[in-house]
Structure 1
Amino acid sequence: MLYKLENGWNKQKNRDEVMRFSEGYKIFLDMAKTERKFVTEGIRFAEANGFVNAEDEKDLVPGDRVYYVNRGKNLVLAVIGKEDIEKGINYVVSHVDSPRLDLKGNPLYEEFELAYMKTHYYGGIKKYQWTSIPLALHGVVILEDGKKVEITIGEKDSDPIFTIPDILPHLADKVQGDRKMRDVIKGEELQIIVGSIPADVTDPHLKDKVKYAILEILNRDYGIIEEDFISAELELVPAGKARDIGFDRSMVGSYGQDDRICGYTSMRAIIDIHEIPEKTAVCFLADKEEIGSTGSTGLTSDFLAYFTGDMIEKIKGNFNEMMLRRTLWNSQAMSSDVNAGIDPIFPSVHDAQNAAKIGYGVVVTKYTGARGKSGTNDADAEYVGKVRSILNAENVCWQIGELGKVDEGGGGTVAKFLAALGIRTIDIGPALLAMHAPFEVSSKLDIYETYRAYKAFYKRG
C-alpha cells in the first residue's frame, strides 16, 4: 500500500557487474571531454559494433544498425524495428555538451610580461570554481586555407596545463570581500595564464615579446597565426581523469557527467540491442543544451526531423510531410538528463520527500522547470504510468525526483522541444552531487541502472 524507497545497493545482487560497467564509463569520459570528441569516439564505438553511416545506405530494413552525424556535434544511432515506422519511434535523447570555458575570438594578450588568454564561459557555472585548478585545452582551429587543426593540450602527464590564478587571501579583502557569491570571480576575470618567456627577437618595435613567443610556439606546432583564433572552437575543461570516490569506490568523480553520463548509457543501451526491436530505436546525442538548445546542432534545429524523414524514406521508399508528422506524433521519448541528488550539507534547497538520492537508482522527473513549472514538459499521467510499468517489468531500480523545492530555482532539459513535435516525453536520468561543478559526483549503482532503464525502454517502449 505504501510507496517506499530502498537503497539500490541493498537490492543489487550483481555488484561486480555494476563496478565493471563503470570502468568503461570512466574510460569514455576521459576520451570524450568535449561534444566533438564524444561524437568522434561514439562513431568509433558504434562502427566497432556493426553500425554503418546511414547516408551511404539506399534503403533500410528491420535489424539494420545505422548512424547519422550532424556537423561533428550530433550523433544519432538507430536500430530499425519490425513495426511500421509511422506507428512511432522510441527515442532516447541526451546532450553531450557540458559547462566549460571557451576562448574568445581574439584571446591572446600580454601585460606585465605575462601572456594570458581571455575566455567566455559556456553554460551555467559558479565562476569561482574554475580558478586555481588545472585546465586542459581541447578543440579545432580552421586555418585560412580550410585545413582543420585539432588541438589537445593538458591531458597527458607530459603536457603543460593552464590555470586561472585567483588572488591570494592575504590581499583579497578589499577586492573580493564584499562581492556576492556570483561575482567573487567575474566573467572577465576568467583568464588563463599561457606563458612568461619573452621571444628572442631584436625588433625594437615589438613590444609584446611574451605574446609573440606564444604565437611562435603555436605556429611551429600547429601552423596557427593569431587571426586563426577567429575561426576556432577551443574549449577549456578540467584536466585529469575520472576517479573512484570513497573508501568503498561506490561513486565516480569527473568533469562533464552532466550529461555525458546519459549519453554514454543511452549509447551503450542501443549498441547492446542484439535482437530486432518491435519499434525502431533511436539514441540521439545532441549539442547546445547548456545554452538553450540553440543553433544548428541544438534541439531547436530541424535535425531530428531531417534524420527521421530520411529513415522514413529509406524504409518505405517514399516520403511526404504527413508521414513525418504521423511518425513523430506516434513516437515516445526519454529525455535523458540528470537530476540533483540531495546533499546532507545543503538539505534546505530540497523537499526531502520528493528529492532524488544518489544510490537509489535512475530518477524519473515528471517536470523540471522553475517557479510555477515554467518552461517544462510536465509529462502526462498516462505516459508516466507507462514508463513506470516498463521499469518495473524489467526490475530497474528507480525513484521519482524533483529539481529542488518549489520557488527555490529550477532547470531545463530538451524535453519540451521533443514534446513540441508531439513526441510523448519524460525526463529520466541519474542524480548527481555538485552538478555543473568542474568535478561532479555520481553513484555507480545509478549509472548501471540508468543503462538498464534505457535498454528496457528500447525493448518494451
Structure 2
Amino acid sequence: MQYKNENGWIKSNEKKEIFYFCDEYKKFLDLGKTEREFVKEGVKFVEAKGFVPAESKKSLQVGDKVYYVNRGKNLVLAVIGKEDIEKGVNYVVSHIDSPRLDLKGNPLYEEFELAYMKTHYYGGIKKYQWASLPLALHGVVILENGESVEITIGEKDEDPVFTIPDILPHLAAKIQGERKSGEVIKGEELQIIVGSIPSTIENKEIKDRVKYAILEILNRDYGMVEEDFISAELELVPAGKAKDIGFDRSMVGAYGQDDRICGYTSMRAIVDLEEVPERTAICFLADKEEIGSSGSTGLKSDYLAYITGDIVEKVKGNFTEMMLRRVLWNSQSLSSDVNAGVDPIFKGVHDIQNAAKIGFGVVVTKYTGARGKSGTNDADAEYVGKIRKLLNDADVCWQIGELGKVDEGGGGTVAMYLAHLGIRTIDIGPALLAMHSPFEVSSKLDVYETYRAYKVFYTRG
C-alpha cells in the first residue's frame, strides 16, 4: 500500500491501520444495506460515541454532540463549534440510498404452479446484472393495525434467497439476441421467484394454491395479509457480505458502496474528532439521491434548513429567518459522492488526463453534470483553491476527476441543491469500479483517504 505526494510514490507504514479501518467499513456495509438499516445502525454507533438526540437538548453549547433522525431515512450529526454559528458551518453531505429493486404494491402472482413477485427498479441500474443473482429481501411492513414489522431474509447462512431467473442461452437467440443491452432483461421481466409448493388447504375457491401457500408463510411469520404489501417498503438487494478483492486484499467489493462509502467515512470522521472544531460540523446522510433527491427525505426537501434552524435557535437562544439565511450563505460543504474510476478494459469512455483512478486517493470533482455541465454545481475557483490547500496541508492523498468524456454521459450529485441555499460546495469522494452494479469495487487506500479528507474538513475547513 502506498501514498502519493508531490515527490511521487512513497511507501506507507500505515497499511495495518488502513486495512483495519476497512474491515470495520465492510461490517457496516453488511449491517446497513438499505437506508433505513444504515440509519438504525448509525444511531447505535453514534450513541455509543456520546451523541444524544437533539430533541433532548433545549440549548446547545460548544462541544455538544447531537443527532437528528428524519422518518428513519436521514441521519444528521452535529458537533457545536467554537466560532459564532452565524459565520457558517461545515457540512459533509452524503447519500445512503443505493440502486436496488423494490417490490410493487401488488407483487405476488402464480403461473404454472410457480409463485413470483413483481419489482420496480430504483435508480440507475443495468437490468441484466440483477438476473440469476442471489437476492435478499430487506424492509419494513406496516400492518393494518399500525404495527411495524421488519423483514430481512437472505443474509443468514440458513436463510433462503430469491432470484430473477434468466433464459438459458440455448433458447435466447430470438427473444434476447437482438435486444440492446438496456433491454436484455426488461423492467417488467425483473421478477423474483418465491415458491413452488402448493397449499394443503382444502378450499375449492382457492385456485392459486402456491400463491396462497406463500401468503400463509407471510402470515405465520410476519402477521401479513396480501393487502399489507401496499403499506410496505420491501427492497431486494444482493445477498452476501462485503469481501476483500485481489491477491493483495487491496480492494473492497460490495453492494451499495455508492454512496455508503461516503456515508460511513463522513460519519466516522465526525465521531472521531479529537477536539472541538472551530466551526460547527454537520454530517448529513440523505436519502433519494439516486432518483433525484425528491421526497421529504431527499435533499430537495427543507430538512437541511430545518435542522440548521433548530441548531441556530438552540445555540443563539433566539431565531430569525435572516439568521438562518446568514448561516447558510456563510457555510461551506463537501458534496460527498463517488466518481467513476478508470477501468483499463473500458478506458475509452474517459479523458484519461482528467479521469479518476483507483488507489490514487480521494477525488476532487469541480463539476459533474452531463455534456455541457447540465445539472451541476460548478465550484468557484476560490473554493477549489481552499480545498486543495486544505488537503495538501494535511498530506491527504487526492486527485482530480471528471465523470467521463464530455459527450459520453455524466451524472449528478446533491451538490446543486446545497449550492441553491448559497452554501459553497464541491464534490469530493473516492472512485469506484463497476458503479451501480450489484458488486462495486473500491480501493482500501481511497476509503481511508476519504475519511482523512472529511476529518480535516470538519477540523480545519
Does the TM-score normalized on the shorter chain lie above 0.5?
A: yes
Structure 1 portions without partners, runs of 5+: none
- From the superposition, tell whether residues 9 and 141 of structure 1 become closer, same or farther in structure 2 (CA, over 3 Å): farther
- From the superposition, tell whether residues 350 and 323 of structure 1 become closer, same or farther in structure 2 (CA, over 3 Å): same
The whole-number CA distance in structure 2 between the counterparts of 1:107 and 1:428 is: 39
Counterpart contact for 1:340–1:431, Cα < 8 Å: yes
Paired AA for residue 248 in structure 2: D
**Alpha-carbon distance, 1:436 to partner:** 0.1
Partner residue of 2:136? 136
Say whether 1:307 aligns with 2:307: yes
**Alpha-carbon distance, 1:298 to partner:** 0.1
Paired AA for residue 38 in structure 2: F
The TM-score, its normalising length taken from structure 2, stands at 0.98
The whole-number CA distance in structure 2 between the counterparts of 1:12 and 1:409 is: 36
Structure 2 portions without partners, runs of 5+: none
The whole-number CA distance in structure 2 between the counterparts of 1:319 and 1:340 is: 42
Paired AA for residue 349 in structure 1: V
- From the superposition, tell whether residues 408 and 6 of structure 1 become closer, same or farther in structure 2 (CA, over 3 Å): farther
Counterpart contact for 1:252–1:442, Cα < 8 Å: yes
Aligned length: 458
What is the CA deviation profile of residues 323-358 of structure 1, one whole-angstrom value per residue up to 9, with x for unaligned ones?
000000000000000000000000100000000000
**Alpha-carbon distance, 1:205 to partner:** 1.6
Partner residue of 2:99? 99
Q: SS of the counterpart of 1:373?
A: coil
**Alpha-carbon distance, 1:290 to partner:** 0.1
- From the superposition, tell whether residues 433 and 219 of structure 1 become closer, same or farther in structure 2 (CA, over 3 Å): same
Partner residue of 1:196? 196
Partner residue of 1:148? 148
Paired AA for residue 19 in structure 1: F
Q: SS of the counterpart of 1:346?
A: helix
Partner residue of 1:277? 277
Partner residue of 1:72? 72
Counterpart contact for 1:165–1:193, Cα < 8 Å: yes
Matches within 5 A, 1:26-425: 26-425=26-425
The whole-number CA distance in structure 2 between the counterparts of 1:457 and 1:443 is: 21
What is the CA deviation profile of residues 266-286 of structure 1, one whole-angstrom value per residue up to 9, with x for unaligned ones?
000000012111000000000
Paired AA for residue 336 in structure 1: S
The whole-number CA distance in structure 2 between the counterparts of 1:382 and 1:36 is: 37
The whole-number CA distance in structure 2 between the counterparts of 1:5 and 1:185 is: 45
What is the CA deviation profile of residues 1-51 of structure 1, one whole-angstrom value per residue up to 9, with x for unaligned ones?
xxx988997453311111111000000000000000000000000000000
**Alpha-carbon distance, 1:59 to partner:** 0.3
Paired AA for residue 415 in structure 1: A
The whole-number CA distance in structure 2 between the counterparts of 1:54 and 1:12 is: 40
**Alpha-carbon distance, 1:202 to partner:** 1.7
Counterpart contact for 1:85–1:327, Cα < 8 Å: yes
**Alpha-carbon distance, 1:112 to partner:** 0.4
Q: SS of the counterpart of 1:253?
A: strand
Paired AA for residue 233 in structure 2: E
The whole-number CA distance in structure 2 between the counterparts of 1:5 and 1:51 is: 36
- From the superposition, tell whether residues 108 and 417 of structure 1 become closer, same or farther in structure 2 (CA, over 3 Å): same
The whole-number CA distance in structure 2 between the counterparts of 1:204 and 1:347 is: 61
What is the CA deviation profile of residues 287-323 of structure 1, one whole-angstrom value per residue up to 9, with x for unaligned ones?
0000000000000000000000000000000001000
The whole-number CA distance in structure 1 between the counterparts of 2:209 and 2:294 is: 40
What is the percentage of aligned positions where both structures have the same residue? 80
The TM-score, its normalising length taken from structure 1, stands at 0.98
**Alpha-carbon distance, 1:203 to partner:** 1.1
Q: SS of the counterpart of 1:428?
A: strand
Paired AA for residue 95 in structure 1: H
**Alpha-carbon distance, 1:443 to partner:** 0.1
What is the CA deviation profile of residues 379-435 of structure 1, one whole-angstrom value per residue up to 9, with x for unaligned ones?
000000000010011100000000000100000000000000000000000000000
The whole-number CA distance in structure 2 between the counterparts of 1:42 and 1:377 is: 29
Say whether 1:447 aligns with 2:453: no
- From the superposition, tell whether residues 9 and 113 of structure 1 become closer, same or farther in structure 2 (CA, over 3 Å): farther
Paired AA for residue 143 in structure 1: L
Paired AA for residue 305 in structure 2: A
The whole-number CA distance in structure 2 between the counterparts of 1:132 and 1:381 is: 47
Superposition RMSD in Å: 1.1
- From the superposition, tell whether residues 247 and 9 of structure 1 become closer, same or farther in structure 2 (CA, over 3 Å): farther
Counterpart contact for 1:288–1:297, Cα < 8 Å: yes
Counterpart contact for 1:7–1:359, Cα < 8 Å: no
Paired AA for residue 203 in structure 1: N
Paired AA for residue 218 in structure 1: L
